[in-house]
Amino acid sequence: AMKKTRTPVLWINGLDCTGCMESFLRGISSTTELLLDWISLEYSELLSSASGHQAESHKGRISEEYDGKFVLVIEGAIPLKDEYLTVAGKSVREEIIATAQKAKAVLAFGSCSAWGGLPAAKPNPTESVSIRELVPNVPVVLVPGCPPIADVMIGTLLHLAIYGEIPELDNKGRPKRFYRQTVHQVCHRKPFFDKGLFAESYDDEKALKGYCLFKLGCKGPSTFNACETLGWNGMRTSPIGAGFACIGCSEKNFWDKGPLCHRK
Ligand code: SF4
Ligand code: SF4
Ligand code: F3S
């Protein structure tokens, strides 16, 4: 049998809500077991049993020992104002820059690390930036979503661990396999859209019948994500399935574009 070497993963948080990791952990299924065969999560503020200096020195040891071989996951935007984010007395910004140079690949999990997300929304008091703005010389795979779909994060990580290379990306740096279609193209409410049948409010009869949510501000037509094909929690649920319009959470600057404003 082929001997598998598990790829070490360091998961560093910037300014985030930990929602991305929450989503990741809820991808509980056979893929998660498969994932644990292929990766070894060596550092996570949320999951590591070690804490403080013990955890910090382990992170440093892994990045030295596996120089060029480990995967770095970034969740959250990175504030340029260091006073907003230090761990163990050190600037997380500097830590991420140093660690990213040594990584085999950097994965931006979530819209905060991919685009700046909520922390970078106007007026951006912490001067937060995306991981690509922070380390423009390092190739980064963007896995946007607020949060991203568990299968999309796990699938991207598995591809790296199994094939040893990053998956095919689109022109924005996202894995093509998961971001090639808009939410709208494959939406289960699209037959209603095609017939011009729209809900007028969230609690009208039409909404209950599954009519299209376009008139309620749905951003599915301009949003690239796999919500309507993969969905969440192994049950293929999505915001639209739950009855709410897409707010475009995987797109750049979605907060500043007014995610909750309704078309009139
Ligand atoms: Fe939280 Fe969304 Fe940012 Fe992930 S992308 S850390 S879920 S705000
Ligand atoms: Fe498109 Fe949104 Fe209507 Fe679905 S609910 S068909 S994504 S406009
Ligand atoms: Fe986000 Fe829209 Fe999917 S809000 S979760 S991209 S349906």
Query: For the segment 135-178, what is each residue's pLDDT rounded down to a tens digit?
Result: 999 999 999 999 999 999 999 999 999 999 999 999 999 999 99
Confidence (pLDDT) at 36: 81
How many Å from the N-terminal Cα to the C-terminal Cα in the chain? Answer: 62
Residue after which a domain boundary falls, among 178, 195, 230:
178
Confidence (pLDDT) at 4: 66
**Lowest mean pLDDT: which of 123-127, 154-158, 245-249, 260-264?**
260-264
What does the pLDDT average to over 209-225? Answer: 96
Ligand lying nearest the CA atom of residue 196: 2
Question: Could you tell me if the CB of 213 is within 6 A of ligand 2?
Answer: yes
Confidence (pLDDT) at 37: 87
d(CA 260, CA 111): 17
d(CA 105, CA 125): 29
259 phi-psi bin (left φ>0, alpha ψ -120 to 50, beta other): alpha
Label residue 1 by pLDDT band (50, 70, 90).
very low
Domain membership flag for residue 109: yes
Same domain, yes or no: 100 and 192: no
Known binding residues: 17, 20, 112, 146, 184, 187, 212, 218, 227, 246, 249
Domain membership flag for residue 1: no
**Other CB atoms within 10 A of residue 68 CB:** 9
Label residue 27 by pLDDT band (50, 70, 90).
confident
Q: Ligand 1 pocket by C-beta < 6 Å: which residues? A: 16-17, 19-20, 75-76, 110-112, 117-118, 146-147
Domain membership flag for residue 29: yes
Confidence (pLDDT) at 264: 41
Q: How many helices (H) and strands (E) does the chain have?
A: 10, 9
Confidence (pLDDT) at 210: 94
Give the range of the structural domain holding residue 63, as residue numbers without chain letter: 7-178
**Lowest mean pLDDT: which of 20-29, 66-75, 104-113, 255-264?**
255-264
**pLDDT value at 8 more than 90:** yes
Label residue 51 by pLDDT band (50, 70, 90).
confident
**pLDDT value at 236 more than 90:** no
Same domain, yes or no: 163 and 40: yes
Label residue 237 by pLDDT band (50, 70, 90).
confident
The atom of ligand 3 lying closest to the CA of 240 is 7
The atom of ligand 2 lying closest to the CA of 183 is 7
pTM: 0.94
Probe target for ligand 2 pocket from 197, 202, 223, 246, with the most ligand atoms within 8 Å of CB = 246
Confidence (pLDDT) at 263: 46
How many A from CA of 209 to the centre of ligand 1? Answer: 31
Probe target for ligand 2 pocket from 181, 184, 188, 194, with the most ligand atoms within 8 Å of CB = 184
How many A from CA of 149 to the centre of ligand 3? Answer: 9
CATH code of the domain in which 79 resides: 3.40.50.700
Q: Which two tokens stand for residue 1?
A: 């049998």
Known binding residues for [3Fe-4S] cluster: 227, 246, 249
Strand ranges, E, within the chain: 7-13, 39-44, 71-75, 78-79, 86-87, 90-91, 105-109, 128-129, 140-143
d(CA 188, CA 183): 10
What does the pLDDT average to over 202-224? Answer: 95
> For the chain, percent helix, then strand, then coil, each to nearest 5?
35, 15, 50
Same domain, yes or no: 62 and 96: yes
- Higher local confidence (pLDDT), 50 or 192: 192
Mean pLDDT of the residues in the chain: 92
Q: Is 230 exposed, middle or buried (0-12, 13-18, 19+ CB in 10 A)?
A: middle
Question: Tell me: the pLDDT tens digits for 102-143?
Answer: 999 999 999 999 999 999 999 999 999 999 999 999 999 999
Same domain, yes or no: 209 and 153: no
% residues pLDDT > 70 (the chain): 94
- Higher local confidence (pLDDT), 27 or 99: 99
**pLDDT value at 3 more than 60:** no
Question: Could you tell me if the CB of 174 is within 6 A of ligand 2?
Answer: no
Known binding residues for [4Fe-4S] cluster: 17, 20, 112, 146, 184, 187, 212, 218
The packing angle between helices 52-65 and 92-102, to 10°, is 30
Residue after which a domain boundary falls, among 151, 178, 205:
178
Residue after which a domain boundary falls, among 119, 145, 178:
178
